[in-house]
Amino acid sequence: MKVVIVGGVAVGATAAARIRRLDEHAEITIFERTGYISYANCGLPYYIGDVITDSEELILQTSESFFSRFRVNVKIHHEVIAIHTERKTVSVKNLETNEIFEESYDKLILSPGAKPTRPQIFGANSDKLLTLRTVEDTFKIKAYIKERNPKSVVLVGGGFIGLELAENMRELGMDVTIVQRPKQLMKPFDADMASLIHNEMRKHGVKLALGYTVEGFEESGDGIDILLKDNAPLRADMVALAIGVTPETTLAKEAGLELGIKDSIVVNDRMETSVPDIYAAGDAVQVKHYVTGEDTLISLAGPANKQGRIIADNVCGGDSRYKGSQGSAVVKVFDMTAATTGINETNARNSGLDVDTVILSPMSHAGYYPGGKVITVKVVFEKKTYRLLGAQIVGYDGVDKRIDVLATAIHAGMKATQLKDLDLAYAPPYSSAKDPVNMAGFIIDNIANGKLKQWHLADADKLPVDGSVTLLDTRTVGEYSRGHIEGFKNIPVDELRDRLSEIEKGKPVYVICQSGLRSYIACCILEGNGFEAYNFSGGFRFYDAVVNDRIMIESAYSCGMDK
């Protein structure tokens, strides 16, 4: 069996190694147009920021080491320029000699990846506009910084790469501004959870220009002007584009393979394309979302590696299936960690799902053990069925392990109420006896059993101010005096039983506290005394962070820049 693989890195290298483990005699060739067969994509921003100081650490395998271990023929600086499906060959160009030749195959695996999206606007081809995708891109940015010593950078785009570049360039002492058309960073997160990320970025000196549209770029002396719609231009020494990626599918398109979203390659659950004996995987393919079942594009290393393994199994006569991508991801944001899995509330509602959420802010580990920090957890689930749909967590310690538990629960098809039943490890330095994941399950179970009724941030502006409802803040007098929602009466929870006469019977009571726990206790007291009570999901700490962030975004937009 002769297998030709177009592209290395996650899919290509994984598939080649797996094929060799399954078939000692297969003839395997990888054609890679760059100079690197297998490298740490996700580590590239950290090399720019000097967190990783040795460039060799980025290279996972060389052509020589790969051949030595797996007897795979790796041809770097070789670009496949055409696929001839009728005769099962590919045309290959040696980029060092410009020689073009044909190579036959029995099975063809396409791993072309994706290319950074470049906007079709004025000045987008300036050499002061840099992108980050490959090792060569990384070295180019590193050399640019070393040679020109830029003092300021504008990052266009606020996704994973944008955030990681912002942190690493800020650590180099550069003045960093992120420009983003949506009024939030990190679209996999809901806007309320993204506000916590915004606050951390500002805390570390990153300027945010959210809600701005870039219309072009204009070189000016040693710098570059970023032209903004309806606003004055921004000036910087360099610009990095991080507005997403576009599937690299020119080969597939010219060969007549079926294409889907953004011209991505359509594959089935065996990772087979529409043409027999041609497989594809990674950032170039359209997949099913594991939660919604909808077609989608998800560019992440984990799914790509799994897809490469599945292809290898099937090439070697097996029957492995890809069950879909869930979008589980985590990102370092200076001192914080932000993570997500499944779908967020916004996308769930846009998909027509009837959903509810819980938001809680527990400690990362036992409160009595030193060093515990607050983490904010948002869990999205379907009403009536309580199907678990997604989760987002922003905090410090323990974010990654909680999101992995929730990702596993989603994959296992667990109901949100079943989170309370998970038997999770506990010791004071690592967690609490009631782990945050269990706590989310307890809250959702209370909702399912009718023991808890909630109100959410979206309801805040709709609360009647005509006296038809009671608005109650159950924090201490000191907490209340440091900030509260206008119109809320303050009765500390420990005084509530003795002051029930101050609350008018027959009116719904909307309750809030700092995190949601004391207000829940207050709701239990009120319900036990004949009142109808609603607990605020997230607490005043969450409310205050989100509202203040929205004010900053709107005021910055109106005056021209985030302060």
Give me the residues paired with residue 32 across strands. 76
What is the 3 state secondary structure string of 411-466? HCCCEHHHHHHCCCCCCCCCCCCCCHHHHHHHHHHHHHCCCCCEECHHHHHHCCCC
What whole-number distance in Å separates Cα of residue 547 and Cα of residue 535?
18
DSSP string, 253-279: HHTT--B-GGGPEE--TT-B-SSTTEE
φ, ψ of residue 373 in degrees (nearest 5): -135, 155
What whole-number distance in Å separates Cα of residue 138 and Cα of residue 391?
32
Catalytic residue of the set 42, 316, 513, 523: 42
What whole-number distance in Å separates Cα of residue 288 and Cα of residue 48?
34
Q: Is 42 a catalytic residue?
A: yes
Helix (H, G, I), strand (E, B) or coil at 165: helix
What whole-number distance in Å separates Cα of residue 384 and Cα of residue 294?
21
What whole-number distance in Å separates Cα of residue 300 and Cα of residue 171?
25
259 close to 265: Cβ distance less than 8 angstroms: yes
Structure tokens at 525: 């007291």
Give 210's contacts (C-beta < 8 A, 6+ positions apart): 158, 178, 180, 182, 183, 184, 185, 198, 553, 556, 557, 562
What whole-number distance in Å separates Cα of residue 471 and Cα of residue 503?
10
AA identity, residue 456: H
Give 135's contacts (C-beta < 8 A, 6+ positions apart): 34, 35, 36, 39, 44, 58, 59
Structure tokens at 280: 């594809």
φ, ψ of residue 223 in degrees (nearest 5): -115, -165
Which of the residues are catalytic? 42
